[in-house]
Amino acid sequence: MSDFDWVADALDSGVPWVHSSGVVVDEVEATRAVCRLPDRPELHNHVGGPHAAMIFGLAETASGAVGLAAFGATAERAVPLVVTSTIHYRALARGPLTAEAVLERPAAEVLAELDAGTRPEFTVDVTVRDGQGKDCATVTVVWTLKPVRDRASAPQGD
């Protein structure tokens, strides 16, 4: 049991797409996460492999898992949001997919910027492999930690 077992439960219960698509979080650390998507015919495209949307969704979920592990302790003061994503489809995917996400910036630097009052960004690089272990996509996801406004000082509606 790792210190980050809560991440899988948080994604499965808090992100409906993760649950309905069948994404499984296999490994989570503060700098790396591995997720997989079982091969199911209803997730296929017109050529019989996982649909591009499934490949991207798996990669984005893996990036979110490592982001939650690295920055979950900031939940009361910052919301993680995707700023931009870039995907390169490298080869036709076949079978189940695995996505390995790696945090590319030390979390301490990101947190120092948040503590200084800025809205930091961090990059997660993801490699998606198919059932034969072939790299079929690479994804770069840039996230930000958006500071939560102090609800006590925010204007109240009627």
- The 10s digit of each residue's pLDDT in 33-47 is 999 999 999 989 899
pLDDT at 139: 98
Closest listed residue to residue 57, CA positions, set 113, 92, 6, 15: 15
Q: Is the pTM here over 0.85, yes or no?
A: yes
Could you give the 3-state DSSP secondary structure of residue 95? Answer: coil
Phi, psi of 35 (to 5 degrees): -125, 155
Q: For residue range 53-77, what is the model confidence (pLDDT) as tens digits?
A: 999 999 999 999 999 999 999 989 9
Backbone φ and ψ for 123, nearest 5 degrees, come out as -105, 140
Contact (CB, 8 A) for 99 and 126:
yes
